[in-house]
Chains A and B, each alone.
Chain A
Amino acid sequence: MSNRQTNLYLLVLVSISGVILVGLGGGLFNQQSPWQIQWQHEAFSNLCHQNPARSFWINGQPMAVCSRCLGIYAGFGIGWLTLPLYAIANMAEKWNFKKVAMAIVLINIFDIVGNILGFWENTLVSRLALGCMMGMSAALIFSGDFFKTIIKSKGNHYGRVTATDR
C-alpha cells in the first residue's frame, strides 16, 4: 500500500484531532472558569448552538459543541484514521460512499425535523450516533484518494501489478 498526498492527509488528521480536543470543552482539563467564557466555547460559537441541555458534560461543564456536532467530528476523525484499512479492503471500488453519505445526511435531517415537529424526542446518545455516522461517511468519501493498494496478480497474470486508483 502506498500513500499519496501525505502532507494533506496528516494536516487533516491533526486538524480534526484539534477540533475534537477543543470541542470536548474546558471540563476535560478541569478548567476553573465558567464555561460560558471559556475560549473553547467562544471558538465554536459561530459553528454550533452549544445548548448545554443538548451537550454532554465533563467534570460539571458542558462540552463546547452539542452531541450531534461532537458525533460528526469524532466520526470524521475515526473515518479518517481508518482510511488505510478501507484502501486495503479496496472499498472505494466496491461502495459508492457519496450515496451512503447522502442517505445518512437525509436520515439526520429527518431526525431533526421529526424532533422539532414533536413526532419523537431524540436523545444525546441518538444525536451522537447519527452525527458519528454522518462524519464517518463524509470521511469515507476520501477512501481511495490518499492510499492505494498494489495488487499482484496470480495464476495466468502472475507478476502483473495493478494499483487501485480513481
Chain B
Amino acid sequence: MEESQQQIGSLPSYWNSVIIAGAIFGLISAIGQLVGGYVLINTGEQSNIINVGFCLIGAFAGFTALWHYNDLGDFSMSLGRGALIGFLAGAVAALLSMGFVWIWKLIDPSYEQAFKQANIAMIENDGSIPDEWKQMSIDMIHDPSLMMTILTSIGGIVFMGVLNMLTGMLGVKVFGKKEEKF
C-alpha cells in the first residue's frame, strides 16, 4: 500500500504533455480550418481532400499526450489518469485552435469578410436549403449573437475533450507499461 502510494506520489506532472499535444493539434486543427476556408473563398466549394484529411485528426491530441507522458519515466498509469490527460489535451487543443484562428484574422484582416461572403454565396447556391433558412443563416453569419458564440465555443471544447478522453485511455493501453489495479 505504502509502495503504491509512493509510486502515485512520484508520478511526473502531465501539464507539459497536455500543453505540447494541445498546441500541436490545436495548430493542425486551425491550419485545417484556414486552408479549408481559403479553398472555399477561392473556389466557392469545399475541398473534399482537405476535409477528409483533417477529419477526426483533432481527436488524437489525447493519444499523443499519453505518448509523450509515457516517455517521461518508467511508471505505471491508470486508465482514469489517461482519461484526464486526454480530456485536458483535447480542451487545450480546442482553445488554442480558436486562438490560432483569431491570431490569423489579425494577420490577414480580409480573411474573415471573404470567408463570410464565400459562405453566404455557398448557402445561396445550395438548392437543398429552404429560402427562409437561407435568410436565417445569412443573418446569423452577418451578425452572430454573443451567447451563441460562447455556447458553441464551450460545446466545442467539451466534445473535443470527451473524444480525447477516449483516445487518452487508448494511449494508456498502447503506451502504458503496466496499469495500476483497483
Chain A residues in contact with chain B, CB under 8 A?
4-5, 8, 11-12, 15-16, 18-19, 22, 33-34, 36-37, 39, 42-49, 51-52, 54, 66, 68-69, 72, 76, 98, 112, 116, 138, 141-142, 145, 165-166
* Contacts known (A12-B166, A37-B136); A68 close to B55, Cβ less than 8 A: yes
Contacts between chains A and B (CB distance < 8 A), count: 110
The answer to whether B52 and A49 have CB atoms under 8 Å apart is yes
How far is it, in angstroms, between the C-alpha of A166 and the C-alpha of B178 when the chains are bound?
9
Besides the known contacts A19-B159, A37-B148, 12 further A-B residue pairs in the complex with CB atoms under 8 A apart: A8-B80, A37-B137, A42-B152, A42-B155, A43-B152, A45-B152, A46-B97, A46-B160, A54-B52, A68-B56, A69-B56, A142-B173
How far is it, in angstroms, between the C-alpha of A115 and the C-alpha of B80 when the chains are bound?
38
The answer to whether B174 and A98 have CB atoms under 8 Å apart is yes
A-B contact pairs, 26 of them (CB 8 A): A4-B181, A8-B79, A12-B83, A15-B165, A18-B162, A34-B140, A36-B123, A36-B137, A37-B136, A42-B156, A44-B156, A45-B33, A46-B58, A46-B93, A47-B160, A49-B46, A49-B51, A51-B46, A54-B52, A68-B55, A69-B55, A76-B166, A112-B52, A116-B48, A142-B173, A145-B173
